């Protein structure tokens, strides 16, 4: 039985995960690593690793992260959502800036 995440995942995300899995598989083959070697280095079962290469959305994100680490590509994961490049977030933050800034005066003593 398939997980409901398969049914709920929008097609663009399914394609992105499939591309990620394909890219992981390509990087593995370029490094002359077998599926068994990758699974052992990642500490997961070979069948789970095969699901990573297929872009299965029900595989834990940690498995994808570990695959990137084993392949020497984990730095790209850290920059995936960089707040400095979040254009929408930066625009929302700028829209919330006050129009004026007033300094509160300290109460005067008699």
Domains in the chain with CATH codes: 4-95 (1.10.260.40)
pLDDT per residue, tens digit, the chain (110 aa), is: 555 777 889 999 999 999 999 999 999 999 999 999 999 999 999 999 999 999 999 999 999 999 999 999 998 888 888 888 889 988 999 999 988 888 888 887 76
What pTM does this model have? 0.76
CB atoms within 10 A of CB 49: 26
Using CA atoms, how far residue 23 sits from 8, 26, 53, in Å, is: 23, 5, 8
Determine the Cα–Cα distance for residues 64 and 7; give it in Å rounded to an integer. 20
Query: Pick from 60, 72, 76: which is nearest to 30 by CA?
Result: 72
């Amino acid at each position: 039985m398939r997980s409901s995440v398969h049914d709920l995942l929008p097609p663009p995300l399914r394609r992105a995960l499939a591309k990620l899995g394909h890219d992981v598989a390509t990087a593995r083959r370029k490094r002359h690593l077998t599926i068994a070697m990758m699974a052992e280095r990642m500490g997961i079962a070979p069948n789970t690793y095969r699901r990573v290469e297929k872009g299965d959305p029900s595989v834990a994100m940690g498995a994808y992260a570990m695959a990137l680490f084993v392949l020497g590509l984990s730095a790209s994961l850290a920059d995936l959502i960089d707040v400095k490049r979040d254009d929408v977030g930066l625009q929302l933050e700028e829209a919330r800036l006050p129009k004026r800034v007033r300094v509160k005066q300290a109460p005067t003593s008699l």
